[in-house]
Amino acid sequence: MHSRRDVIRAGLSAALAAVLPKPARHIAHAGHSAEPDLKYFDAALGAARWLRATAIASPTGTSWPAVPPDATTVQHNLYTGFPGVVLFFIELSRATGDAAWLDLATSGADQLAAALPDEKAGDESTGLYTGLAGIAYTLEEADRARGESRYRAAILKARSTIVAGGRDVGAGVEWNDSTDIISGSAGTGLYLLRASRTFGSVDALKAAILAGRRLIEREFRNGDTSFWMASSSFPRNMPNFSHGTAGVAYFLATLGEETREKSFVDAAVRGARYLQSIATPTDGDGRRIFHNDPDGHELFYLSWCHGPAGTARLFHRLSGVTGDSSWSAYVPRLAQGIIGSGVPQRSPGFWNNISQCCGNCGVSDFFVSLNGLTGDASHLAFARRVADDTLERATADGDGYKWVQAENRVSPNVVLPQTGLMQGAAGVGLSMLRLDGAMRGRKPTIVLPDAPF
């Protein structure tokens, strides 16, 4: 079975064999005397110091290996690559007021811009988390942080390559066989909508609309419910956010909001109804949705990729698009599905992983967002509980901190300290800054294209 991780980890084979040390000490006992309300801020600084120490300088800028110190693992994608490090340093510079972090982010963005391909190279290369869409987004954030047009030419080049790479199929376009948020039309479409709003790009909006029309052609409809497969060649229905119906429907709902085309919103509603129809009740009237059909009905992930933390994004977005509060009323039921599972206690769907994608940080970010939406202090308390577990699992390295984790549930003995956004220290650092910001009244600077909160 091939997954997004098989694609994204293609450059990590050497690192997979590495023998890594056990955690040397816990971050909570590393000599810090900070008050409790600063410990998440301190953790972000610790992650930043480790990332700074792992940087690779070149005449064209700075990059970071996905798994230090192996320079062969440098990647340019948003999932495990160094765009995530750039985004984290932008957020850290804003939180600290220290321009040195922005300078380091700029050096990383310089390297991204210098390394842009002259043309699309491979089916995954336009994806939000696997290719040009994520790179263009990162360069946009770097431009915004600097308040100048340093990367405008590179952004235009990437965006034009994405638009030109859409191939005419049926009533619309697609870039590859994938429908999903990670590498497919849903994620690429979300970036194009952002580009349309940010730059007024008519071509980007047109491509997003055509992507939506093609996705409607690819839905499996049964009355008033619908689902989407990740691809025609992948024999499993994974209904949640990263690879399935929740992510596709989220894009269609967002597209409907932007264009006011009813067909897109109607398709998103059908997707949401399908998800409700297959949801499993939990204690406290919670809900969670299985990992995959046909052989994963008893497996429940809990974070961004295949869990309630990601899938809830669709229901929140639908409420705003339709004006129907019953959709947003489903969000706390999904949140209860996480709480009722015992997080941060380990489970088959919540293993030795602290990441934004599959583990602690995706869950804590979700509850920070709920706190911002509702003002309910219990959401912030739960986010802190999960974040405290993340701190306890830190490993000291020099004057910084890294997190050694099992990225893949089916390979629990393969543990790595990674640098990137969705599976590494950059994602941990961003999560810690968001929690610290929620506690101190500071709004986040970095809001990803697939984030509705």
CA-to-CA distance for 184 and 187, rounded, in angstroms? Answer: 6
The residue type at 34 = A
Q: CB burial class (10 A; 0-12, 13-18, 19+) of residue 273?
A: middle
Using left for φ > 0, alpha for ψ between -120 and 50, and beta otherwise, residue 127 falls in beta
Residue 404: what are its φ and ψ, rounded to 5°? Answer: -95, 120
pTM for this model (two decimals): 0.93
Q: Provide the residue count of the chain.
A: 453
Nearest residue to 125 (alpha-carbon basis) of 172, 175, 81 = 175
Residue 259: what are its φ and ψ, rounded to 5°? Answer: -100, -15
- Is 63 in contact with 56 (CB distance < 8 Å)? yes
Q: Work out the number of other CB atoms within 10 angstroms of the CB of residue 42.
A: 19
Structure tokens at 152: 């405008």
Structure tokens at 352: 């030795």
Q: Are strands 280-282 and 225-227 parallel, antiparallel or unpaired?
A: unpaired
The residue type at 31 = G
Structure tokens at 242: 């990263």
Using left for φ > 0, alpha for ψ between -120 and 50, and beta otherwise, residue 441 falls in left
Cα torsion through 261, 167, 191, 290, rounded to 10: 80
Nearest residue to 328 (alpha-carbon basis) of 314, 340, 339 = 314
Distance linking the first and last C-alpha atoms of the chain = 33
How far lies 203's CA from each of 45, 57, 209, in Å?
A: 40, 36, 10
pLDDT in tens, the chain (453 residues): 344 444 444 444 333 333 333 333 344 434 444 455 899 999 999 999 999 999 999 999 999 999 999 999 999 999 999 999 999 999 999 999 999 999 999 999 999 999 998 766 555 589 999 999 999 999 999 999 999 999 999 999 999 999 999 999 999 999 999 999 999 999 999 999 999 999 999 999 999 999 999 999 999 999 999 999 999 998 889 999 999 999 999 999 999 999 999 999 999 999 999 999 999 999 999 999 999 999 999 999 999 999 999 999 999 999 999 999 999 999 999 999 999 999 999 999 999 999 999 999 999 999 999 999 999 999 999 999 999 999 999 999 999 999 999 999 999 999 999 999 999 999 999 999 999 999 999 999 999 999 999
Question: Which residues, other chains included, contact 340 with Cβ-Cβ below 8 Å and sequence gap of 6+?
Answer: 282, 283, 284, 286
Tokens 């062969």 correspond to 72
DSSP state of 71: G
Using left for φ > 0, alpha for ψ between -120 and 50, and beta otherwise, residue 122 falls in left
Per-residue confidence (pLDDT) for residue 261, from 0 to 100 = 97
Per-residue confidence (pLDDT) for residue 346, from 0 to 100 = 92
Per-residue confidence (pLDDT) for residue 22, from 0 to 100 = 38
Q: DSSP H helical segments within 323-398, as ranges? A: 325-328, 331-339, 360-374, 377-392
Peptide bond just before 332 cis, omega within 30 deg: no
CA-to-CA distance for 373 and 356, rounded, in angstroms? Answer: 20
CA-to-CA distance for 253 and 137, rounded, in angstroms? Answer: 21
Structure tokens at 317: 């977005």
Question: Which residues, other chains included, contact 59 with Cβ-Cβ below 8 Å and sequence gap of 6+?
Answer: none
- Is 417 in contact with 20 (CB distance < 8 Å)? yes
